[in-house]
Chains A and B, each alone.
Chain A
Amino acid sequence: MERHALSERAPELVEYALGELEPAEAERLARHLETCAACREALRRIEEALGWLGTVVPQHDPPPALRARVLAAAGGSDRSRWRLAWARGLLAAAFGLLLVALLFAVARADRRAEELAGRAMTAAEVLATADWSTEMRGEQPSLPSVVGQVYLEREGQRAVVALEGLPAPARGTVYQLWLIRGDGQREDGGVFVPDARGRALLVVEAAAAWTSYRGMGITREPAPGGSLQSTGTRVAGCSWDWEAWRSS
């Protein structure tokens, strides 16, 4: 681990927290934060100060009707809930940095700053247009019962898979995501290694619309490239049934 005086990084941390760093600089700092607990703690404190600073303004009550509107919108059916137009671009605007930080967790051999920034945008787009979501369930006794959430647009071909609580794969292995077609055939969804805290955020591109798939699975496979066909132990997965869903 790199050791350094905190003062060296303080200006950069402040700019990161204010959202002033260029994507490539932000990515570089995110990479450093992964390994430097002192900077992580410093950033946490800067961000917390910026958050509490928001409390010093004069206080006004929002109109009472707003509460009803928010709760009504949240109470919409699962079908409409994910299609609210306001979601478009929202994540990109408000949580861009967070997404970059999360995406940083996706360890791939071909990881580059531009690709990462591009993937953050893609993830935000997918989340904004997602109209369906399901839990990714752990299938090993050592795993939590829920290891993440899948967001997808049923008529589209992209999905975001947000994972947490995954242990580091054994040396020489990676995790591999599989997309399960309606006929049971498995398609490669990519390989990944979670970050130090067991998290990964994946943007998945399917070969066809999600309506022709019935689930996903995660296995452990040999590093670095994974397998052409799933060979390892299945550790997590999810499945869905569009027919039942449509008739509900």
Chain B
Amino acid sequence: MDDDTLAASDGELIARLRSRDRAALAALYDRYARSVYSLALSIVRDRAVAEDITQELFLQLWQYPELYDAERGRFAPWFLRAARNRAIDALRRRQRDRRLGERLHGASVDERDDPDDAAVAGEEAARVRRTLADLDGEQRQVIELAYFGGLTQREIAEHLGIPLGTVKTRVRTALRRLADALAREREPWSDTR
């Protein structure tokens, strides 16, 4: 792979996908396949399914690069969100007939703070990891059930035996803290002002 491709920004590589540049796809694969595969694997817990999801996502990106809209944010979190949604979808399909309880394995969050092992090198991943570790147990539990278990807030409320409003408040608080940690300037979307 040439130096231009290695040095290209995500946005430049996406633009090159539109002109059917396979080297750009290879570069994006090398940057993100590990993160996407690991995220899918931690949700579906099945290597074959995680591989299928990874393949589908990259081929979809290849076919429809215009689905990524730079105005809606950076590529990495967008792509990871797509991976999460695909994995949750697969999980729900596979477990439709099983009891809800089996979806409640929660997250397999990596507790280690080892930058060498981080999914996407960078400040953001480290900040999210630190913030998640700082959340109180109740907030962390609901965000993990929603994000990695694919439970709706209503399902979480039923499972935990707590009011739906409480679940919503905890999810919102957890997300706000993550968003604030990621923001360069502290421009909260919070309701505290």
Residues of A whose CB lies within 8 Å of any CB of B are 5-7, 10-11, 14-15, 17-20, 41-42, 44-63, 66-67, 69-71, 73-75, 81-82, 84, 86-87, 90-91, 93-95, 98, 127, 149, 162, 164, 197
Bound-state CA distance A59–B118 (Å) is 7
**Known A53-B178, A69-B55; contact A58-B85, beta-carbon cutoff 8 A:** no
Would you list which residues of chain B between 110 and 139 have a CB under 8 Å from chain A?
A: 110, 117-120, 124-125, 127-129, 132
B127 contacts across to A, CB distance below 8 A: 52
Check: B56 CB closer than 8 A to any chain A CB: yes
CB A125 to nearest CB in B, in angstroms, measures: 14
B172-A66 in contact (CB<8A): no
Q: Evaluate contact between B74 and A48: CB separation under 8 angstroms.
A: yes
Q: Does B41 contact A (CB under 8 A)?
A: yes
By a beta-carbon cutoff of 8 Å, the part of chain B in contact with chain A is: 22, 25-26, 29-30, 33-35, 37-39, 41-42, 50-52, 54-60, 62-64, 66-67, 69, 71-74, 76-86, 89, 107-110, 117-120, 124-125, 127-129, 132, 143, 146-148, 152-153, 168, 171-172, 175-176, 178-179, 182-183, 189-191
Task: Give 20 pairs: A residue, B residue, CB < 8 Å, sorted on A.
Answer: A7-B190, A11-B172, A20-B153, A42-B189, A46-B179, A47-B78, A49-B179, A51-B78, A51-B79, A55-B129, A57-B41, A58-B42, A59-B119, A61-B37, A66-B33, A66-B55, A71-B22, A73-B59, A86-B56, A93-B89
Partner of B38, one of A57, A70, A75, A162: A57
Which B residues are in CB contact (< 8 Å) with A17?
175
| Chain B interface mostly | helix
- Given A52-B128, A66-B51, A66-B55, answer yes or no on A47-B77 (Cβ-Cβ < 8 Å): yes
Q: Which residues of B are found within 8 Å of A14, using beta-carbon distances? A: 168, 171-172, 175
**Apart from the given pairs A5-B191, A49-B179, A63-B51, 5 other A-B contacts in the complex at a CB distance below 8 Å:** A11-B172, A50-B84, A67-B30, A71-B26, A93-B85
Q: Are B77 and A57 in contact (CB under 8 A)?
A: no
Q: Which among B63, B64, B125, B172 is the interface contact of A55 at CB below 8 angstroms?
A: B125
| Chain A contacts for B73, CB-based, 8 A | 44, 47-48, 51
The contact of A71 among B25, B52, B63, B190, by CB within 8 Å, is B25
A57 contacts B25, CB within 8 Å?
A: no
Considering the complex of A and B, which 6 residue pairs feature the smallest CB-CB distances, nearest first? A51-B77, A7-B191, A54-B80, A55-B119, A57-B42, A49-B178
Complex Cα–Cα for A46 and B189 (A)? 9
* Chain B residues within an 8 Å CB radius of A67: 26, 29-30, 33
Q: Among A11, A57, A94, which residue has its beta carbon within 8 angstroms of that of B107?
A: A57
- Contact between chains at A62 and B182 (CB < 8 Å): no
Interface contact A58-B108, CB-CB below 8 Å: yes
Known: A52-B182, A66-B51, A67-B33. A94 touches B129 (CB 8 A): no
- Residues from chain B with a CB closer than 8 A to the CB of A71 are 22, 25-26, 29
Which of B25, B59, B60 has the largest count of A CB atoms less than 10 A from its CB?
Answer: B59
What is the bound-complex CA distance between A55 and B89, given in angstroms? 19
> Of all chain A residues, which has the CB nearest B47?
A63
Residues of B within 8 A of A11 (CB): 168, 172
Shortest Cβ distance from residue A194 to the other chain B in the assembled complex, whole angstroms: 14
Residues on A with beta carbons closer than 8 Å to the beta carbon of B33: 62, 66-67, 70
Query: Hey, which chain A residues are within 8 Å of B58, CB to CB?
Result: 70, 74
The one of B42, B63, B120 that contacts A87, using a Cβ cutoff of 8 Å: B63
Residues on the A chain within 8 Å of B79, using CB: 51
Please give me the residue from chain A that is nearest to B61 by CB atom.
A74
Contact of A95 with B124 in the complex, beta carbons under 8 Å: no
Q: Do residues B191 and A49 form an inter-chain contact, with CB atoms below 8 A?
A: no
Assembly CA distance A17 to B109 (angstroms)? 21
Identify the closest chain B residue to A95 (Cβ): B67
Instruction: Let me know if B179 and A74 touch, CB within 8 A.
Output: no
- A47-B72, A52-B80, A55-B128 are contacts. A74–B119 as well, Cβ < 8 Å? no
Per the bound structure, the CA–CA distance linking A65 and B138 in Å amounts to 41
* A50-B59 contact, Cβ under 8 Å, with A6-B191, A56-B110, A66-B33: no
Chain A nearest Cβ from B26, distance in angstroms: 6
